[in-house]
Structure 1
Amino acid sequence: MIASAPASVTAILLAGARPIPDPLAVAAGVPVKPLAPVAGEPMINRPARALLDHAAIGQVIVLTQRADAFAADPATAWLGAHPRVRFERGGAGIASSLLALMEAGDLPFPLLLTTADHVLLDRAMLDQFIAEATGADIAVAMVERATLLARYPQSRRTWLKFRDGGWSGANIFWFGSDKARPVIALWQEVEQDRKKGWKILSAFGPLALIGALLRISTLRGGMARVGRRFGLVARLVAMAQPEACIDADKQADVDLIEAILAAR
């Protein structure tokens, strides 16, 4: 049984800059990727509006090293003026920045984390994710390969392969309580290898790695095993919408996203 959604979720919108110049930012002539235009406006605007328009979301924290760049751009200056939006300075990595905010004690749970390049994020995705993640200490949104390719066969993703299919991250994460802190600390250790599925799996123990390689483990079972290891409730949210794992990571993604938005 899925628990009812909490009255107020703290959303964290990642809008940082990588150490090396991002090709989309360079091509658009903007200082950070979230300011690069998609469908006529900076990509950060659509996920920011989706979060602010959802009844379960309380405050939205924009995590970035360049708050000044968003304030200076007329198309994103509204974020700094919004009463439910605040900017926090990001550090060298996502996990380290999260831990720093937690240490400051001004980060009320539950937390929903997503990215500024999640341009297709909408109410339906948030409805499903919040409903299924509520009650978990940590939850991760994923899209199964068949779900995506049935509608968008041209889309190229990084897949983690398990007995219950191939899975791609949907860039939506849930941290329901302070019990998630050890998992975030582990994330900090391996986030530089986030595109290397085997490295992430091995961090959760040899059984998870071997099980994935031999196709004897399901992703859902693996999540439950991670939860047991850390003494918490860990949950996979298998997203129904294939668009949930299409982010604006490269120009081909932007072209696809703009086609999807135009069709809507």
Structure 2
Amino acid sequence: MSNIQTILSHDICLQMNLLAVALWYLKHYHSEPYIATEVNLAHQTVSYFLSSVLDILHSCVYAELISLPADIANTRTPHGPEQSHKLIVDSTFITVPEPSNSEERKAYYHAKSSTNYALKVQIACDFHHRIVYVSECYHGSVHDITILSESDLLEHVNDSVQIIADKGYIGEENVVTPRKKLHGRELTDENKRFNREINSARAAIENINQRLKTYAIVGGIYRGAIHDFHKATKIVQVISALCNLNLNKYPIPG
């Protein structure tokens, strides 16, 4: 008996069965026809309930578990190397198949993707290592700093609430990045120490991005409609909420 058949054989309510199947789908990303065969339902029915459960999770779980801390500016709030360092930001990507035309290939291009094409999304966490912000999805070629500048995250940033990020965000006010060496000069010992501290703090968001990709729907090649940014965004946001839900059991070191 397969995992999914075992799930459905339990004497629990239908709603819990559907939730379990939807979570199993997000984690392992088996095809809808395969799931339909396993649960002995029509493909159309499976497609409908997966979409419905995703909508419910997004409206309930995401809204409950992903938000900026109300006390983020408080001096007692956990912070990075300096007291003003309250958030860490980085982008991650969802690999997509090669688009059919040259304009789309240019828009979706992402060098780190296994297919060279992707959707891009930006994640922010606090120093409890909880995801507190997830952007909408963008074309893979969009620059990280563009996504940040178009987000509402910067509305919460000031001298006492600053963001730690990598060198892709250099130039944005109140975003702290590793220091670059000047042409023909080496970094000072102070700047080297500063960079080590910033990079050490950034390890948390990289760990979070790795955890997101343990869900095969974002860690593998996405089979959904690549033009449907709304649905892709909803998927990443739900998975981010699920990662937060697992933090107590599986804390991020650091």
TM-score normalised to structure 2 length: 0.26
Q: Where is the strand percentage greater, Structure 1 or Structure 2? A: 1
